[in-house]
Amino acid sequence: MLIVNDPCSLLIVVLATKLLEHAMNKNHLSNLRPAKKVDTSTAAADGHKPVESSVVRFSENGEAVDNEWIKKIHEALLTALDLSRVINMPADKARSQIREAATKLLNEANAPLSASTRQLVVRGVENEILGHGPLEPLLEDPTVSDILVNRFDSVYVERKGKLVETNVKFRDDDHLLTIIDRIVSHVGRRVDESSPMVDARLSDGSRVNAIIPPLALDGPAMSIRRFIRDKLSMNDLINIGSINDAMSEVLGAIVKAQLNIIVSGGTGTGKTTILNILSGYIGSTERIITIEDSAELQLQQPHVVRLETRPENIEGKGEISQRELVKNSLRMRPDRVIIGEVRGGEALDMLQAMNTGHDGSLATLHANTPRDAISRLENMISMAGLQLPMSAMRSQIASAVDVILQLERMEDGKRRITSLTEVQGMEGDIITMSEIFAFNRTGLDEVGDVTGYFSATGVVPNFHEKLKKRGSDISTSLYKPKSIGLDAA
Ligand SMILES: Nc1ncnc2c1ncn2[C@@H]1O[C@H](COP(=O)(O)OP(=O)(O)O)[C@@H](O)[C@H]1O
Ligand SMILES: [Mg+2]
């Protein structure tokens, strides 16, 4: 039985009940899968029995939340509140209006839920209307770096480099699709049968990829790469053991002295992270242009213009490539150009920029060794379609790039800067390089962690003179190799 105290509440509950049936039968995305029969016998107003199969644990402390109640109250609210008006209110006001109305409906429907479950249901309803539905608790969790939705009922997260399955579930494919739809429409894209793969970004900067049937065979899937607010700092990297003090000191001086740096490594080795850290050494008076496929860099300097490529639209038009952006950036009077990841022909324009007064430019690329990074650059220059002879390409590279940093994620899961290599010049047709710092691997310990130590190789780099000329007081003692046996870590 319903306990209704005032006429206004009665109206809401009656309206809610009526529209509940309508809402439950409505299936606006039904073209993607056969419509499911909905059991309306459990609707808010006429049944108090929670449906066992719909109870999911979605709070981190393991508390059961009744998904079905979230759905019921949400749908009742669709009509009880003018949601289009609520959504356009300031966030706190919208939340409090929804919270108030949802609590009232729950109370009036006499839901057989504990006080704490009620709170979670109300929270769930808020998230359905204003946020990302059941993903919201994961998005609020700062330890989550990736959220991977394999299916509506299978959601994994990555925490501290480890993948774990969560108890988070969507109700069904449509529910998941509604959230995907909200995310992508927010950035002016759409996802449907004619464009079943889409990239988007959350307002906090997290990157989203969604792919739906018919390409995804088991229903819509979504991958979210979180934008980590508390980025790692150079000190963090030293504490984690990704780099040592001497290397970090030399690196800071290299950036300040405006040497051109290429950060090389595989996917997820920490290239963007180190690029961010390095950019922190750039002075606040320098004008910086950043170019990315998907903006991830967070520069602290005041004088920054951020550019991002644009994919082609549904008609296959309107694409703006990194190459066009690099060319354009040179007309913007930059002191430094930072390219998130060089992948193609823009490598040529980048090297030309490095060679013509835009010293101190930084970029990352995908390669496994410093030598491999050079070959990648050669390949990418060829993609520019200029048919440059090999020797011209190489001398372009040798004179543009000063330093290559090699990053590696080793089998113990740790990321390390395994090499700081100076590009010195040409000997005949060959680019000469000299390693200045390296991680010397000694083996594996009993728990499977890689053992080894960072050390200078003993080579004093040619760039040392440049560092000094540009005001750095780096001591040559930093280039002394570690005396192994005494203090090898
Ligand atoms: N030195 C490090 N130690 C531990 N984790 C790191 C380190 N560098 C980066 N990470 C983490 O690894 C993930 C991938 O880093 P990212 O810089 O995006 O890699 P890439 O650009 O090479 O794909 C991020 O979650 C980041 O916080
Ligand atoms: Mg990256």
Mutate to test the pocket of ligand 1, among 415, 439, 450 (most ligand atoms within 8 A of CB): 415
Give the span between the Cα atoms of 124 and 74, in whole angstroms: 9
- Centre of ligand 1 to C-alpha 170, Å, is 29
Query: What is the 3-state secondary structure of 328-381?
Result: HHHHHCCCEEEECCCCCCHHHHHHHHHHCCCCCCEEEEECCCHHHHHHHHHHHH
Nearest alpha-carbon partner for 483 in 455, 451, 452? 455
H/E segment holding residue 7 = helix 7-25
Per-residue pLDDT of the chain (489 residues; tens, 9 = 90+): 444 445 544 445 444 444 443 443 333 333 333 333 333 333 333 333 333 333 333 444 444 456 788 888 888 888 777 777 887 788 888 888 888 988 888 888 888 888 888 888 888 888 888 889 999 999 988 889 899 999 999 999 988 778 899 999 999 999 999 999 999 988 888 899 888 999 898 888 888 999 999 999 999 999 999 876 667 899 999 999 999 999 999 999 999 999 999 999 999 899 999 999 999 999 999 999 999 988 888 888 889 999 999 887 777 788 999 999 999 999 999 999 999 999 999 999 999 999 987 889 999 999 999 999 999 999 999 998 888 899 999 999 999 999 999 999 998 889 999 999 999 999 999 999 999 999 999 999 998 899 999 999 999 999 999 999 999 999 999 999 987 654 444
- Centre of ligand 2 to C-alpha 340, Å, is 7
Other beta carbons within 10 angstroms of residue 82's beta carbon come to: 11
Give the span between the Cα atoms of 489 and 487, in whole angstroms: 6
Q: What is the DSSP annotation of 154-172?
A: EEEEEETTEEEE-S---SS
Phi and psi at 322, nearest 5°, equal -60, -35
- Centre of ligand 1 to C-alpha 161, Å, is 9
- What's the chain's Rg over C-alpha atoms? 28
Mutate to test the pocket of ligand 1, among 273, 406, 439 (most ligand atoms within 8 A of CB): 273
Of all protein residues, whose CA lies closest to atom 17 belonging to ligand 1? 270
Give the span between the Cα atoms of 369 and 357, in whole angstroms: 27
CA atoms within 13 A on the CB side of 31: 7
Structure tokens at 446: 């009993």
Tens of pLDDT, residues 428-466: 999 999 999 999 999 999 988 999 999 999 999 999 999
